[in-house]
Amino acid sequence: MGMVVETEEWVLTPLAYPLLSAASLAAVLLLPHFSRPHAAVVTPSSPSPFDVGTTPFLRFRRAFLLLFCLASVAEGIHSVFGEDEFVRCGFGREQMAARLAAATAAVLFLGGASGVVSDKLGPQNACIFYWMLQLAVGALKSFSGLRCAWVNNFILALASSMFSFCFETWIVLEHEKQGQNQDSLFDTFWLMTFFESISLVGSQGITNLLLDDDNKGILLPYTFAALVSVIGILYIRKAPSISTAHHASVIGSYQKSFFAHVLRGEW
């Protein structure tokens, strides 16, 4: 007996994305108000994660969260297509698996050393390097002839591995530099997770607005991601720099640990 499989695409309406973002933001803003303890004695309300810390630190955190949102948008645009991008390039299942496996294997070697390079460069320069990787991928994929190049998968995998730690390292060092407590660091990580989720949802909406039905329309989201990368590089260069004297001395400790624990087997 023959079976016919009907495919039906389910897509959210464009109005759903701003509604989801507004509802999530309202939940965060209203949480401190509705979570106040009901006591007979009037006590000052507990501060929200948006207004804890000194004025210079709050100014830096707002700028950092904006930069982190831009990075999340660029990361989401490159990950939204998935295997559909390989299908548009005319790849089969074996070619898709070979591309992904080769990129993953290459990043396993370079990704392990990226943490050492990040400590050598400093957190800000590491974030700039991440933006340069995103810019390279966006620029290459903006041309139809280079959209299916294997180097795109390698650069994108390396950028994704750096995204997971370069921004977190920067905010941790800034907390230590300005003498913030551990609770403030937890609040900042919570805000980073929240704004990353909003940015990923927003990147899907932006991609749907820029994407057309033809094959040429898929190039517009990559051009937008390259533009966001340029904005991120220019924005991060205006931020106050962190001294890299400590990071320059870290390489020696890495070498000592490697020779002691890996080559000599000392623990």
Q: What domains can you pick out in the chain, each with its CATH number?
A: 54-244 (1.20.1250.20)
Which of left, alpha, beta for 187 (phi over 0: left; psi -120 to 50: alpha)? alpha
pLDDT at 137 over 70: yes
Question: CA 223, CA 75: separation in Å to the nearest integer?
Answer: 13
Least confident of 8-12, 96-100, 152-156, 221-225: 8-12
Please tell me the predicted confidence (pLDDT) of residue 5: 46
> ∠ CA(156), CA(162), CA(164), 5° rounding?
110
Token representation of residue 147: 């959209």
Please tell me the predicted confidence (pLDDT) of residue 132: 92
Please tell me the predicted confidence (pLDDT) of residue 40: 37
144-149's contacts with Cβ under 8 Å and 24+ in sequence apart are: 144/215, 144/216, 144/219, 147/85, 147/89, 147/218, 147/219, 147/222, 148/89, 148/90, 148/91
Single-letter code of the amino acid located at 45: S
Please tell me the predicted confidence (pLDDT) of residue 68: 92
Please tell me the predicted confidence (pLDDT) of residue 245: 47
Largest separation between any pair of C-alpha atoms in the chain: 76
For tokens 């501060």, the residue is 47
pLDDT in tens, 159-194: 888 887 888 888 888 888 888 878 788 888 888 888
Residues 6 or more apart in contact with residue 266 via CB below 8 angstroms: 260
Percent of the chain at pLDDT > 90 equals 7
Please tell me the predicted confidence (pLDDT) of residue 215: 53
pLDDT at 103 over 70: yes
Alpha-helical (H) ranges within 122-178 are 123-141, 150-163, 166-177
Please tell me the predicted confidence (pLDDT) of residue 44: 45
Question: CA 13, CA 115: separation in Å to the nearest integer?
Answer: 41
| Angle between helix 150-163 and 123-141 (nearest 10) | 150
pLDDT in tens, 28-84: 777 666 654 443 333 444 455 556 667 788 888 888 999 999 999 988 888 877 677
Average pLDDT of the residues in 216-225 = 75
pLDDT in tens, 194-208: 888 888 888 888 888
Question: CA 187, CA 189: separation in Å to the nearest integer?
Answer: 5
Which residue from 52, 85, 64 is spatially nearest to 207, judged by alpha carbons? 85
> Taking the model in full, what pTM does it have?
0.71
How deeply is 81 buried, as exposed, middle or buried, from its count of CB atoms within 10 A (0-12, 13-18, 19+)? middle
